[in-house]
Chain A
Amino acid sequence: MENKAILLDSCIISNLAGKQKNLAGDTFNLIKQLTEAKNSLYISEFTYYELIRSATPITRTKTLDLIKEYPIVPSNRTRLERAALLYSSYKNHEAIKKNLHSISDIDIFIGSLIFTRHKPLLLTADYNDFPRPFFIEKARKRMEFQNNRGNMQSIYYYFFEADLDAI
């Protein structure tokens, strides 16, 4: 994967900076690998909000240091209208509208950011927050780590591309 714009979902950053050491290290290695392969990594302003919201007074400075290095894709009129279009498309989709309550507005906004002609990708661990047919899985990466109980656990990271014809 080279020369792509990649939007990192909030869960990727929280895994990077979280207490699961192996997962944090593997997430860092993936981010490093993607950066060295000339991809451009981004976060949305709502991820910025989520990360600041989760910081304590003690971790606030470190959190700000972390996210100041990310280019942020901010909201604007076009992006908010596109998020509303994606929401309407979900509501008109028989299978998705039943589960629409489980997809947050933040996830709808984050997902809608990649609906552009430039074909950026979204990297997330939250498969169900970005439903088919709107999001096409381009790749996945298995992340194995030892959890706090000492057991091996695995999760997947997914690279999604938007299907522009689905909205």
Chain B
Amino acid sequence: MTQKEKEKLLNDEWPKAYPNGKKAFLEAMKKASKSGLFDIEEEDKTSVSVK
């Protein structure tokens, strides 16, 4: 891979954040944090994963 090709790969704009606004975003996160949607493994792991 040439340096020019690599540069092309590294120049990458991400989409605009918060499509429905920050308020809607935080509200959804707040609801999610109370919902217990996902089961979480409780072993002594350094991480938890989606089952």
Q: How far is the CB of B18 from chain A (nearest CB, A)?
A: 7
Q: Is the interface of B mostly helix, strand, loop or mixed?
A: loop
> In the complex the two chains form, what is the Cα distance from A137 to B45 in whole Å?
19
**A120 contacts B by Cβ under 8 Å:** yes
**A18 contacts B by Cβ under 8 Å:** yes
Number of A interface residues in the complex (CB < 8 A): 63
**B16 contacts A by Cβ under 8 Å:** yes
Which residue of the partner chain B has the closest CB to A164? B10
Chain B residues in 8 Å Cβ range of A147: 42
Q: How far is the CB of A49 from chain B (nearest CB, A)?
A: 10
Contact residues, B1-51 vs A (CB, 8 A):
1, 6, 8-20, 22, 24-26, 28-40, 42, 44-51
A-B contact pairs, 9 of them (CB 8 A): A14-B38, A19-B36, A24-B32, A31-B29, A65-B31, A70-B25, A71-B14, A71-B15, A153-B44
**Interface residues, chain A, with chain B CB atoms under 8 Å away:** 5, 10-11, 13-21, 23-25, 27-28, 31-32, 35, 40-42, 50-51, 53-55, 59, 62-63, 65-66, 68-74, 78-79, 81-82, 85, 115-118, 120, 124-128, 147-149, 153, 155-156, 164, 167
